[in-house]
Structure 1
Amino acid sequence: MSNFIVKKVAVLGAGVMGAQIAAHLVNARVPVVLFDLPAREGPKNGIVLRAIENLKKLSPAPLGLKDDAGLIRAANYEDDLALLKECDLVIEAIAERMDWKHDLYRKVAPHLGTDAIFATNTSGLSITALSEGFDAELKARFCGVHFFNPPRYMHLVELIPTEATQPAILDRLEAFLTTTLGKGVVRAKDTPNFIANRVGIFSILAVFAEAEKYGIPFDVVDDLTGSKLGRAKSATFRTADVVGLDTMAHVIKTMQDNLQDDPFAPVYRTPAVLKSLVDAGALGQKTGAGFYRKEGKQIKVLDARTGQYVDAGGKADEIVARMLKKEPAERIKLLRESGNPQAQFLWAIFRDVFHYIAVYLDQIAGSAADVDLAIRWGFGWNSGPFEDWQAAGWQQVAQWVKEDIEAGKALSKAPLPEWVFAGPVADNQGVHSAQGSWSPATQSFIGRSALPVYRRQAFRAALKGSDAVDPRKAGRTVEQNDAVRIWVCEGQDDVLVISFNSKMNTIGPDTIDGLIRAIDLAESAYKGLVVWQPTSLQLGAPGGPFSAGANLEAAMPAFMMGGAKGVEPFVKKFQDGMMRVKYAAVPVVSAASGIALGGGCELMLHSARRVAALETYVGLVEVGVGLVPAGGGLKEAALAAARAAQAAGSTNYLQFLTQRFQNAAMAKVSASALEARQMGYLQAGDPIVFNVHELLHVACSEVRALHEAGYRPPAQGELVPVAGRSGIATIKASLVNMRDGGFISAHDFLIASRIAEAVCGGDVEAGALVSEEWLLALERRAFIELLGNPKTQERIMGMLQTGKPVRN
């Protein structure tokens, strides 16, 4: 089989989506050329250059590192079309106008490479219609590739072929999107708005209709339809504001224009309130006003009755909130039977979506799995609509939906298809089974894609009702207790894995014991150990926390009995555990995603290698609770500075220490794994994985590679030069200015001073050689001293009670 290596990509169109797609390609280190029209004034590439500059200002940040914006090559359609010959993939991402796209295609088609894949990033236009005018050879290489906004963060990409698209083209593109760009790919049929927007926008229109019917304000709707339903925190109307109300109106219009004979056509009318906002230029977040508006620090919400903005903050009725905490079957039953308008509203929006996906499954998707995954990944639901229906009791819910249709309560009179009530789905009590997911076209349950790229995913995103293995219970358990599980993957007995069982994977004394036990076991019979947390890989968008750090609550009993000194054994045990990780005879590899804070960061720092998902947020954040890092994080900063100075032939150790000191003193957390590497929390040889489902595979591969290369741990007993008392004095001088200028508090000054003393090696001469044990003792002493300080205790209690840092 020949390799498909994407050496360069062209993106046509430097608008919001085009520029951010280019940014994410750069994140993945794929060379990219960004095209747009030649500017009428100034540099010809001015339009693109302004778009590239704007990437640095956007939030959430499209770039893992802002400076990487300079890696995007600017081009225009007048001078630079010859560059297209060098590109293996060309993605068109201009405005959603069929005529404009065709005009551009005529211009660029002669310049495309003979083997290049040509794709359009459209949110709903017909891919077949867009391909009209192409010769047969180009039609075979053309498809739709629909990224969701923002492209860096949204997991979903829809891949849409025409009947002429070569299957091999789709397979190659799916593999590239999955591994290189880290996406969850769903193949959609070439129907208006494809899968996610078709179902997702319908669900939003249903919310509009039912909220108006039951008289529920927009902020209350958002409280009902957000995290309480296991959906995106931004819920319905906040999401609309983020997406852009003009964008939403455009997607709705696509449904209006192309689904005129649809039995749900009346639902596709643009809601009057949405039209009035768009007409007024209130397009949501990008214009500062939509369904919500920020006035100073106050959030206002639109009152649908008056058209005025009023104070936001409306909440679900307590009785309804309690219903939503019940198991699916009881929840749906309670909502349907309740007389509470909010409960009736929720039953109605569940019913409307169940009705819609059953009627249209055959037209829009290959199987029910495609619908559920598209909605989960594209709209941030923890479970897809078919999963919700199946979990609530397939036949009972189907009967209730049927009754509402017949009673005229539903949004359409279209009957549910026969397969809902009879045959394999009814027998299985749902669309997901051990054999796969229901496909009306084949009248059978079909499995997920078996492309080779998915062999890299030890645990693919699971569907409720399928036979997917729970990663928290998978493989063969070697040992397990309340703190940790030590296990091996199915059929891979050469690498040991440890997973933590605590909330947010915090690290307490029992976790350290488990980690040391796992290292002992790995040294006796395995090539190495991987620290990997399976949390959240099955639900919603993937990527659970690696570790939120040391478990402060676990240390409270020792503090209550012996004060600050009573906690010293816990701190020493944590340090000893990290040293055991560092000097293990076999490689210990940390596989991180999500947050890796405090002790979680220190565990990474002491590992033989780190494998991090792009969306890994790493930092030493102990100052937030009035403490200093004391698990060896500051010690590792001192060692890294000494190595960097020696490599540069310098004795100015402070020069190489300053940034590392600031990272800890300011509790700076990386905004990506790329930035974590820049901050020194990842090394140059540590892989960054874009698809979090591949994290475990890559980490195990790293263990095997290190083993095959004859891994030996670092030499113990190393003495390193430190910045000493002169370095401490220099840092403290700048801290005094910050304190006296009111930029930091007196307690912040004290904490930062203790950090400076630890990273500079204490009260010794500059260049003095000290051991790791010396540096660890400095950390430990500073930690215990601060723990006894009342202001630190205020910060700890505030964090434990509210989850938010106290500034004092």
Structure 2
Amino acid sequence: MNRSISKAVVIGSGIMGSGIAAQLANAGIACSLLDIVPAEMTEAEQAKGYSLTDSVVRNRFAAAAIAGMVKRKPAPLYDEAFAARIRPGNLEDHLHWIQDADWVIEVVVENLAVKQELLAKIEQHWKPGILVSTNTSGISIEAMSESRSLEFRQHFMGTHFFNPPRYMKLLEIIPGQHTEPAHVDRLREVAERALGKTVVIAKDTPNFIANRIGTYGLLVTLREMLQRGYTVEEVDAVTGPAMGRPKSATFRTLDLVGLDTFLHVADNVRENVQDEAEIEVFTVPEPLQEMVGQGWLGEKSGQGFYRKLKEQGKSQILALNLKSFTYEPQAKPSSGSLQAAKAAKGAKAKLKALLSGGDRYSDLAWNVLKPVLLYSAAKLGEIADNIREIDEAMKWGFNWEMGPFETWDAIGLIPSVRRMEAEGLQIPGWVSEWIAAGNTSFYKREEGQLFHVLSGKFKAVEQPPEIISLRDLKEQKRVLRSNTGASLLDLGDGVACLEFHSPNNAIGEDILSMITQSQEEIRKRGYAGLVIANQGRNFCVGANLMLLMMEAEDEEWDEVDDIIALFQNTMYQLKYFEKPVVAAPHRMTLGGGVEVCLPADQVIAAAETYYGLVEAGVGLIPAGGGCKELALRASMQAHLPEADLQPYINRLFETIGMAKVSTSGHEAKRLGYLKASDRVVINPDYAIYEAKQAVLRLAGSGYEPIQESKLRVVGAEGKAVLQLGAIGMRESGYISDHDLLIAKKLAHVLSGGDVPAGTLVSERYMLDLEREAFLSLCGEVKTRQRMKHMLTTGKPLRN
């Protein structure tokens, strides 16, 4: 069976359908997007002389959805150019396109009758071998397909994408009673490898896994609030990061989802279960029903549990008082347990601190957590076959730091169960049996291998070889060298991995030292090459700004100069290392993080990589070789002596001067941060493996280290062009006086200084220009103000 999918048809061009089509296009899958034929023309269409028979009218809904992809925020496409991979059509003229597809995804309104009717039409054009799925958040897969042929049903399943499809990693696949396991495996493989999804296999039950448990938890929390008199702000203060949940917590999440949508999801469970206690929980409390009745639906209606007001140019977010049904200024909750949770490091420690605080907020946390843990355990076997599926669904579908069973382990399985029993709660039988057998947790780790409970015993969690866990390697004692900021690990097959683990993976002397030590270790052990990667939240947020600011405040200019010289020399040595180096950045890769990647022979970037030289935002310029390396690339692009180098430098000046950050790995290529030979992988879980393979390919093909070359610069004439542009922006009010000063320094560096145009200069010369400009900017009061503001607020200062 052909397991690849190269062509797809998405039916339904709404927010969800177009988002799924966009992610297929991101993966390089040619996609057709179909929708209904409009019943009437728009005024614009009439003015252009179109009729209802013209394709531009008949395809209007799908075409408009594709056009909207390039404008939507957050962007559904990795690159605007990928919109060309999507072909618009309509259900009357183009349903036969299904015949050439590998996968058909129905994404129409959540209505059983509508979906059944559409599936009947799809089958008229369907051929055996074509996968068909319905995107639904909870409608029965069996009920949808009950009138279809057996062969069709063998190829049919549910695929519950979470919104927005590009950014939400979870995909629930729901096989029907007759779905062939081989077809499920095929779709799972494509979803994980091509679409970058974490896939869980759910049972065909109301709302499947994530929405079933997530909705239950939200309703339990709302009831606890109403019964105990907590405010909206208090609930959100407790049920956010303090419990290992997103900042949107409970009520901001409901506002984002839409209260009407939430009611629909809750009603779907209530109407399709038989257990009276469950029916009671999924009966939405009256205040929420009243809000929906008044049109208070959340963000899409302008108000829900929160309401944003703007007066005299200032924004204020008010919170709903559910007793008076009026909006009031928010009162920030505070208590010992909340403070302890805030001070604790990591989700596990935060939750334990919150629960042990002994105040009313500790009580709230316990009273909303315990029913979710018990419900999750009670539904094992009904909604999913193992605890791993449930935990993964909640982590990737609701952005919880820990799934229910991981949470249970974190707070202590035995003591928490004893507390529940003391409070008269019924523990699911399999949990009691598991504890009675002498077990104290649902998960355990042994020698870098994770195990979880399955059918009454511990079973190893199997991972494909393409997923490399650095944590597992450490537990397997494969650390070659380590210090406070970084470690060198053995990836196997003669490849080493340099992992950052400083706070925020910020680059300091410890990381720079380990880069040098890594090269020494690789030489000594005869390794093939080096991967630079980590599995932190972000790859690297830049250099240690706090250290730089402290030295600058104390006017220790020699110290600042030494720090920058060390950074430059380390990157220079890395670039000319005699073994291949491959970097694998992901998510935030800023400033010095980019400068660590620039010397690499190849970059394997995750698709969700936000990549940029942002130093101008804190009043500086890149000085770890960033300016030099990109200027060298520009010189190489305009390689002929008579070629005009100025346009390349102009674009580079704009990119660095405006601190542009890519919205994806693909856009990083378009901005010039990545080379044509660099690659982008959609699933970040595979990035280290792909980087390792890149090292082996380079080493196996007779790798020869690059030789230093001189670069041609635009010189004084080119600098004048750059500075003139910056002066124009200042005179137009787009930038401040300090911005102009930074721009002039940047122009001096990128142009190669005050030399004649076309002069060939060395890399060391360019590095000296970088360092001089950086030092002079550190001496500026406004630069230090920007640095301090960024450190204290996380936001840039315009001064």
User: Which residue in 2 is equivalent to 1:528?
Assistant: 529
User: Which residue in 2 is equivalent to 1:240?
Assistant: 254
Matched, 1:624 2:635: no
> Alpha-carbon deviations, 1:464-510, whole Å to 9, x = none?
xxxxx545555511112223211202xx1410111123111111223
Instruction: Provide TM-score, normalisation by structure 2.
Output: 0.93
Name the SS of the counterpart of 2:571 in structure 1. Answer: helix
Alignment match of 2:694 (pick from 693, 702, 706): 702
Change (3 A) 1:739 1:153: same
Change (3 A) 1:742 1:313: farther
* AA of the residue aligned to 1:479: R
Asked if structure 2 preserves the Cα contact closer than 8 Å seen for 1:587 and 1:706, the reply is: yes
Matched, 1:724 2:735: no
Asked if structure 1 preserves the Cα contact closer than 8 Å seen for 2:474 and 2:489, the reply is: no
- TM superposition shift of 1:401: 2.1
CA distance in 2, matches of 1:273, 1:568: 62
- TM superposition shift of 1:402: 3.0
Asked if structure 2 preserves the Cα contact closer than 8 Å seen for 1:635 and 1:759, the reply is: yes
Asked if structure 2 preserves the Cα contact closer than 8 Å seen for 1:590 and 1:699, the reply is: yes
Change (3 A) 1:12 1:342: same
- TM superposition shift of 1:652: 1.9
User: Which residue in 2 is equivalent to 1:506?
Assistant: 506
Alignment match of 1:664 (pick from 656, 671, 674): 656
User: Which residue in 1 is equivalent to 2:126?
Assistant: 112
Alignment match of 1:642 (pick from 635, 646, 666): 635
Name the SS of the counterpart of 1:232 in structure 2. Answer: coil
Name the SS of the counterpart of 2:755 in structure 1. Answer: coil
* AA of the residue aligned to 1:531: I
Alignment match of 2:116 (pick from 102, 115, 123): 102
* Residues 472-491 of structure 1 mapped to structure 2, 5 A cutoff: 473-474=475-476, 476-489=478-491
* Residues 45-56 of structure 1 mapped to structure 2, 5 A cutoff: 45-56=59-70
* AA of the residue aligned to 2:697: A
> Alpha-carbon deviations, 1:264-293, whole Å to 9, x = none?
211111232322232233322223222222
Alignment match of 1:416 (pick from 416, 420, 427): 427
User: Which residue in 2 is equivalent to 1:69?
Assistant: 83
User: Which residue in 2 is equivalent to 1:465?
Assistant: none
CA distance in 1, matches of 2:792, 2:420: 44
Name the SS of the counterpart of 1:773 in structure 2. Answer: helix
CA distance in 1, matches of 2:343, 2:222: 24
CA distance in 1, matches of 2:607, 2:427: 43
> Alpha-carbon deviations, 1:695-752, whole Å to 9, x = none?
1101101100111122222221x12222222221122112112212222111110001
> Alpha-carbon deviations, 1:121-169, whole Å to 9, x = none?
1111111111211111111111111111111111111111122111111
Q: After the TM superposition, which of the residue ranges 338-347 and 593-602 deviates more from structure 2? A: 338-347
Asked if structure 1 preserves the Cα contact closer than 8 Å seen for 2:617 and 2:797, the reply is: yes
User: Which residue in 1 is equivalent to 2:49?
Assistant: none
Change (3 A) 1:111 1:550: same
Asked if structure 2 preserves the Cα contact closer than 8 Å seen for 1:419 and 1:426, the reply is: no
- TM superposition shift of 1:545: 1.3
Alignment match of 1:364 (pick from 372, 377, 383): 383
Alignment match of 2:234 (pick from 199, 220, 223): 220
User: Which residue in 1 is equivalent to 2:71?
Assistant: 57
> Alpha-carbon deviations, 1:494-532, whole Å to 9, x = none?
101111231111112232121022123224411110111
Asked if structure 2 preserves the Cα contact closer than 8 Å seen for 1:530 and 1:700, the reply is: yes
Query: How many equivalent residue pairs?
Result: 774
Asked if structure 1 preserves the Cα contact closer than 8 Å seen for 2:473 and 2:489, the reply is: no
Asked if structure 2 preserves the Cα contact closer than 8 Å seen for 1:419 and 1:425, the reply is: no
* AA of the residue aligned to 1:5: S
> Alpha-carbon deviations, 1:646-699, whole Å to 9, x = none?
37x862212112222111111111111111111111122222111111111011
CA distance in 2, matches of 1:767, 1:560: 39
Asked if structure 2 preserves the Cα contact closer than 8 Å seen for 1:425 and 1:431, the reply is: no
User: Which residue in 2 is equivalent to 1:163?
Assistant: 177
Change (3 A) 1:794 1:488: same
CA distance in 1, matches of 2:167, 2:662: 15
- TM superposition shift of 1:24: 1.1
Asked if structure 1 preserves the Cα contact closer than 8 Å seen for 2:243 and 2:351, the reply is: no
CA distance in 1, matches of 2:436, 2:168: 31
- TM superposition shift of 1:183: 0.8
- TM superposition shift of 1:607: 0.8
Asked if structure 1 preserves the Cα contact closer than 8 Å seen for 2:348 and 2:407, the reply is: no
CA distance in 2, matches of 1:425, 1:528: 50
Asked if structure 2 preserves the Cα contact closer than 8 Å seen for 1:472 and 1:534, the reply is: no
CA distance in 1, matches of 2:550, 2:727: 36
Asked if structure 1 preserves the Cα contact closer than 8 Å seen for 2:242 and 2:354, the reply is: no
User: Which residue in 2 is equivalent to 1:33?
Assistant: 32
Unaligned runs of 5+ in 2: 46-56
Matched, 1:399 2:418: yes
CA distance in 1, matches of 2:270, 2:654: 55
CA distance in 2, matches of 1:727, 1:122: 57
- TM superposition shift of 1:354: 1.6
Alignment match of 2:684 (pick from 692, 696, 704): 692
* Residues 165-180 of structure 1 mapped to structure 2, 5 A cutoff: 165-180=179-194
> Alpha-carbon deviations, 1:739-775, whole Å to 9, x = none?
1222211111000111111111111222222221221
> Alpha-carbon deviations, 1:104-133, whole Å to 9, x = none?
111111212321111111111111111211
Asked if structure 1 preserves the Cα contact closer than 8 Å seen for 2:496 and 2:531, the reply is: yes
- TM superposition shift of 1:381: 0.8
Asked if structure 1 preserves the Cα contact closer than 8 Å seen for 2:336 and 2:359, the reply is: no
Change (3 A) 1:610 1:119: same
Change (3 A) 1:313 1:533: farther
Q: After the TM superposition, which of the residue ranges 244-253 and 338-347 deviates more from structure 2? A: 338-347
CA distance in 2, matches of 1:325, 1:657: 46
Asked if structure 2 preserves the Cα contact closer than 8 Å seen for 1:612 and 1:689, the reply is: yes
Instruction: Provide TM-score, normalisation by structure 1.
Output: 0.92
CA distance in 1, matches of 2:462, 2:356: 40
CA distance in 2, matches of 1:694, 1:281: 45
* AA of the residue aligned to 1:372: D
User: Which residue in 2 is equivalent to 1:539?
Assistant: none
Asked if structure 1 preserves the Cα contact closer than 8 Å seen for 2:78 and 2:667, the reply is: yes
User: Which residue in 1 is equivalent to 2:10?
Assistant: 11
Name the SS of the counterpart of 1:343 in structure 2. Answer: helix
Matched, 1:299 2:294: no
* AA of the residue aligned to 1:44: R
Asked if structure 1 preserves the Cα contact closer than 8 Å seen for 2:340 and 2:350, the reply is: no
- TM superposition shift of 1:431: 2.4
Matched, 1:123 2:114: no
User: Which residue in 1 is equivalent to 2:739?
Assistant: 748
Matched, 1:455 2:474: no
CA distance in 1, matches of 2:688, 2:574: 18
User: Which residue in 1 is equivalent to 2:208?
Assistant: 194
User: Which residue in 2 is equivalent to 1:768?
Assistant: 759
Q: After the TM superposition, which of the residue ranges 788-797 and 100-109 deviates more from structure 2? A: 788-797
Asked if structure 1 preserves the Cα contact closer than 8 Å seen for 2:337 and 2:356, the reply is: no
Asked if structure 1 preserves the Cα contact closer than 8 Å seen for 2:110 and 2:136, the reply is: yes
User: Which residue in 1 is equivalent to 2:275?
Assistant: 261
- TM superposition shift of 1:337: 7.9
Asked if structure 2 preserves the Cα contact closer than 8 Å seen for 1:722 and 1:760, the reply is: yes
> Alpha-carbon deviations, 1:434-489, whole Å to 9, x = none?
584334xx444444456xxx2210129xxxxxxxx545555511112223211202
> Alpha-carbon deviations, 1:14-58, whole Å to 9, x = none?
111111011111112211111111122251111112222222333
- TM superposition shift of 1:561: 6.4
CA distance in 1, matches of 2:405, 2:482: 34
CA distance in 2, matches of 1:329, 1:243: 27
> Alpha-carbon deviations, 1:216-272, whole Å to 9, x = none?
121221121111111111111111122222221111111111014342211111232
Matched, 1:572 2:565: yes
Name the SS of the counterpart of 2:4 in structure 1. Answer: coil
User: Which residue in 2 is equivalent to 1:587?
Assistant: 580
* Residues 200-211 of structure 1 mapped to structure 2, 5 A cutoff: 200-211=214-225
User: Which residue in 2 is equivalent to 1:409?
Assistant: none
Unaligned runs of 5+ in 1: 407-414, 461-468, 536-543
User: Which residue in 2 is equivalent to 1:437?
Assistant: 452
